[in-house]
Every structure is written in C-alpha cells, then in structure tokens.
Amino acid sequence: MPELPEVEMFRRALEEGATGRKLRQLKVYDAKVLRCQETQLVEGLVGHFFHPPQRIGKYLFVPFSSGQVLLIHFGLTGSLAFFDEAEDPPRFTRVAFLMESGNHLAYVCPRKFGRLDIGPDVQSLQKARQLAEDAYTISWEDFEHHLGQTRRMVKTVLLDQSVAAGVGNWIADEILFQAKIYPERRVADLSAEEKRRIFEKMKEIIQTALAVEGDYEALPAQFLIHRRGWTQASPAFCENCTGETEYIKVGGRATYFCGVCQKKPG
C-alpha cells in the first residue's frame, strides 16, 4: 500500500511533470475508481492547467486553473505514471489524463481500491474525509488535542486519519517502537512526556523515510521495519536491547514490537 513517503514521491513527480501543463482530454477506463460523475471531472479539469499539487496524509490534492481541485487516493495498489502514446497507456490505467503536448499522465490502480474525486477546494474535500492535518507538518498543540483522553489503544488512535493524516501501519509500529510504548496502551494512560515522545518520533521517522525517498531498505538498521515479517523459524532481535520482536494484532492490524523495549504494563 502506498504510504505517506510513497505518496510524497508521487506528489513530487506530479509537480515536476504536470505543473503548468494543459489537460486536453480525460479518458476513464474504469469508472469504479470515481467518487464523482465523469462529467464533473471533464467539466472541472479538461481545458484547464495543472497547478502544484499538495499532499495531506496519503491523499494528493491537485488544483486546476478552473478553481476545481482533483483529489487522488491510491488505495492498496495505486500509482501515477507518465506515458507517451495517447492510445497506449500503461497496464491497469483506470483514468488517463491526456496532455496538450504529450507526456500524458496515467492513474494506475490494478486492484481498483484507489479513488478520484473533485471538489471546489482542498478544505471541503479534506473535511468530507475527516482528514486531520498532515502528520509531517501538524503542530504539537493540534496533535495533542486530537489525541485527547480516549480509552482507545494508542496504535489504533495513531492509525486514525482524523488524529494525524498519513500514519500507516508500519509507521505507527515504528513510532511506538522508537518511543518505547506498548501498542495496546490506552491513550488516556499515557503521560504528557510519552505523548510528546510519540509526536517527536512521528516527525523524525517521516523525515527519515522522506530522506531515503521511500526506499525502506535504506532506513537505519535499528529501525523496527527491518524486523517486520519475521517468522518463528527465524526470530528477529531488537538492535537496541537484543529483545525478541513480537507479533500481535491490534484492531485487526498486524503489529510488531520489541517485547523488552516496549514492555507491556503490569
């Protein structure tokens, strides 16, 4: 699934490849990915120019010179690709954006869980999805406010896109590992210092993942991500304490943690 770092790479590619260019024609190959009518997309976008895209969490918002904003979500398998032959888009293209001067844009989505939508501005599209500020730019005050005093488990709350947009499964596990917090702790039981640590680790981890441009193999060796998918046959050990990596499900989501660093409270 494209997580925040991959979506940021799509944003950069789109900014580089589409900004200032005019959309000549829109071809919908599979309307299943549309959250709006095809005619709304055509009326709002065709004949207009791409403005620089914005990313909030795992969503891209692409303003056009018409004043309308295209929203792109990538689901499990979505991506963007540029291509040359208007009649020959990449495999699994669901919507093709044919440009006035070649180098067309394809919204590719093999499993069709991604979505496109259109709206009058970023704020209304964001609000309709109960999307908080982006996890990389959110302020401590807003983050702390959104965490609140809930009895929900901290891992589940971190995955809630109305708390901080863009925290996906591996990032949530990585935050809690590096902040040394057991994933099933209740938010209301966390100290102010623990919440602050979560916030700081969230920023650091996203910054590190962006610096390696989403190439997870290049993340530092002590990151928990390298011990995800460990098996009982070949156990993985924490680089900080040599504790064994453990696996549980939290709210139905695969969760890895260090049994020693992230000790379960008595």
- Does the protein bind Zn ion through residue 241 (CB under 5 A)? yes
- Does the protein bind Zn ion through residue 118 (CB under 5 A)? no
54: phi then psi, degrees, rounded to nearest 5: -120, 145
User: At its nearest, how many Å lie between Zn ion and the CB of residue 230?
Assistant: 13
One-letter amino acid for residue 173 of the chain: D
User: At its nearest, how many Å lie between Zn ion and the CB of residue 263?
Assistant: 9
| Tokens at 227, concatenated | 């011990």
> Could you give the dihedral angle defined by the CA atoms of residues 185, 187, 189 and 191, in that order, rounded to the nearest 10 degrees?
110
For residues 210 and 248, which CB has a smaller minimum distance to Zn ion in the complex?
248
DSSP 3-state of 51 = coil
User: At its nearest, how many Å lie between Zn ion and the CB of residue 190?
Assistant: 19
For residues 144 and 246, which CB has a smaller minimum distance to Zn ion in the complex?
246
For residues 140 and 247, which CB has a smaller minimum distance to Zn ion in the complex?
247
For residues 4 and 219, which CB has a smaller minimum distance to Zn ion in the complex?
219
User: At its nearest, how many Å lie between Zn ion and the CB of residue 53?
Assistant: 39
Q: Work out which of 12, 25, 240, 253 binds Zn ion, going by CB under 5 A.
A: 240
Cα gap 43→46, rounded to integer Å = 6
For the segment 219-238, give every residue that binds Zn ion (CB under 5 A): 238
- The secondary element (H helix, E strand) that includes residue 81 is strand 79-83
For residues 83 and 237, which CB has a smaller minimum distance to Zn ion in the complex?
237
- What are the C-alpha distances in Å from 125 to residues 36, 70, 128, 130, 201? 12, 9, 5, 9, 28
- Does the protein bind Zn ion through residue 125 (CB under 5 A)? no
CB 173 within 8 A of CB 257: yes
Radius of gyration, alpha carbons of the chain:
20
Binding residues (CB under 5 A) for Zn ion: these are 238, 240-241, 243, 258, 260-261
